């Protein structure tokens, strides 16, 4: 008796997952050249566009510093768009336990919480493309408004107070209270949280500056200026402006600036997004977000996850998340890569 064979079901294989390159051997050569040029211990702290200053970075830096040991001076290259100011304070506190003198090199952007990190340095050396920024805080609260992608948006203290002041200036005295008009769009608890975190920002700046600045009046003036004197959170504070407000800023050596830009180019190649599309609603995203490097060791946080778009909720959700800190180091002349367990 003849039996029919079961029909062949063809499944389209998923494409090979793309991942960003790890350029440890190339970055180490530049790190060694910079270290010889500055004549001191040299470290890097670099964030991609999707990276940020965060608490886990503090533990990663500790792993590097513990390997290097106490140093008479640490020279730190910083490139970041910002993140957590509290993490910046923890980083400064940690670095100061391993050195008496800290110098920060800024060839490019060093914004928001990264500016706070730079405040902890005895000297800030800035290149032609360098800028710091204001540090007024914004907050993404659980009750914050939603954007078009159904994600919570950050609410800034400065933006909120400008709306209130503009309302009070333009509207008649007997009109509705401005807060009553704002409450339907911004929850009262969000406004309270933003007010509270603004005070925190000033406190953080004062505490960070106190590690090397004994004049409390000067530290208070710098803190207030960075928190409330600029019309935009991303206002670029160049070398001249940094000197004007009282920071110990000075020009960065041209040859050193060129080496840092060369190193940044390699980090940017490592930090590129590698997206593998499965279909219209599913993809895999891999990106190196934060890089910390010193002589013989590079640690980095790599985002590595699947994304699925839920049409009913109009938002992307993560699946199969294998994101982790990783490290590459020289061990007996060999390059060894492994997961960096920091928690």
β-sheet bridge partners, residue 298: 293, 328
Decide the pairing of beta strands 297-310 and 315-319: antiparallel
β-sheet bridge partners, residue 326: 300, 339
pLDDT of residue 141: 59
CA distance 101 to 71: 9
pLDDT greater at residue 319 or residue 125: 125
Q: Where are the strands (E) in 205-266, listed by range?
A: 249-251
Q: Report which listed range, 3-7, 74-78, 110-114, 330-334, is most confident.
A: 74-78
Q: Which H, E and C letters describe the chain, residue by residue?
A: CCCCCCCCCCCCCCCCCCCCCCCHHHHHHHHHHHHHHHCCEEEEEEECCCCCECHHHHHHHHHHHHHHCCEEEEEEEEEECCECHHHHHHHHHHHHHHEEEEEEEECCEECCHHHHHHHCCCEEEECCCCEECCCCCEECCCCCCECCCCCECCEEHHHHHHHHHHHHHHCCCCCCCHHHHHCCCCCHHHHHHHHHHHHHHHHHHHHHHCCCCCCHHHHHHHHHHHHHCCCCCCCCECHHHHHHCCCCEEECCHHHHHHHHHHHHHHHHHCCCEEEEEECCEEEEEEEEEEEEECCEEEEEEEEEEEEEECCCCEEEEECCCCEEEEEEEECCEEEEEECCCC
CA distances from residue 42 to 32, 37, 51 in whole angstroms, order as listed: 8, 10, 21
3-state secondary structure of 188: helix
- Is there a contact between 17 and 276 (Cβ–Cβ < 8 Å)? yes
- Average of per-residue pLDDT values in the chain: 85
pLDDT of residue 185: 73
Confidence of residue 9 (pLDDT cuts 50, 70, 90): very low
- What digits encode the pLDDT tens for the residues 100-109? 999 999 999 9
CA distance 67 to 324: 21
3-state secondary structure of 285: strand
CB atoms within 10 A of CB 165: 11
Nearest to 69 by CA among 300, 333, 296: 296
Task: Give the mean model confidence (pLDDT) for residues 8-12.
Answer: 51
Length of the chain: 343
Task: Give the mean model confidence (pLDDT) for residues 111-120.
Answer: 93
CA distance 314 to 185: 20
- What digits encode the pLDDT tens for the residues 164-196? 777 777 776 666 677 777 777 777 777 777 766
Domain range summary for the chain, segments of one domain joined by +: 24-134+236-339, 136-229
Q: What is the CATH number of domain 24-134+236-339?
A: 3.90.226
């Amino acid at each position: 008796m003849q039996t029919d064979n079961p029909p062949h079901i063809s499944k389209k294989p998923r494409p090979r997952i793309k991942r960003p390159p790890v350029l440890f051997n190339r970055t180490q050569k530049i790190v060694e050249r910079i270290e010889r040029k500055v004549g001191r211990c040299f470290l890097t702290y670099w964030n991609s566009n999707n990276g940020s200053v965060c608490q886990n970075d503090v533990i990663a830096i500790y792993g590097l510093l513990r390997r290097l040991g106490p140093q008479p001076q640490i020279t730190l290259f910083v490139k970041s768009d910002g993140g957590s100011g509290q993490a910046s304070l923890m980083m400064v506190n940690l670095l100061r336990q391993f050195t008496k003198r800290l110098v920060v090199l800024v060839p490019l952007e060093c914004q928001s919480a990264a500016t706070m990190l730079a405040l902890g340095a005895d000297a800030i050396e800035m290149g032609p493309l360098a800028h710091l920024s204001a540090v007024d805080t914004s907050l993404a609260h659980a009750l914050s408004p939603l954007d078009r992608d159904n994600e919570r948006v950050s609410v800034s203290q400065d933006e909120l107070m400008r709306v209130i002041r503009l309302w009070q200036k333009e509207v008649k005295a007997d009109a509705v209270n401005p807060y009553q008009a704002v409450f339907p769009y911004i929850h009262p608890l969000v406004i309270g949280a933003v007010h509270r975190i603004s005070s925190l920002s000033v406190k953080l700046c004062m505490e960070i500056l106190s590690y090397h600045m004994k004049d409390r009046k000067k530290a208070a003036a710098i803190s207030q200026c960075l928190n409330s004197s600029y019309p935009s959170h991303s206002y670029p504070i160049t070398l001249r402006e940094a000197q004007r407000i009282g920071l110990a800023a000075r020009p960065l050596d041209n040859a050193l600036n060129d080496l840092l830009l060369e190193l940044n180019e390699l980090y940017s190649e490592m930090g590129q997004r590698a997206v593998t599309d499965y279909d219209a609603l599913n993809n895999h995203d891999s990106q190196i977000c934060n890089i910390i490097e010193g002589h013989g060791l590079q640690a980095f946080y790599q985002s590595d996850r699947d994304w699925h778009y839920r049409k009913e909720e109009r938002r992307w959700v993560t699946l199969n998340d294998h994101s982790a800190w990783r490290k590459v180091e020289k061990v007996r002349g060999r390059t060894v890569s492994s997961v960096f367990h920091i928690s």
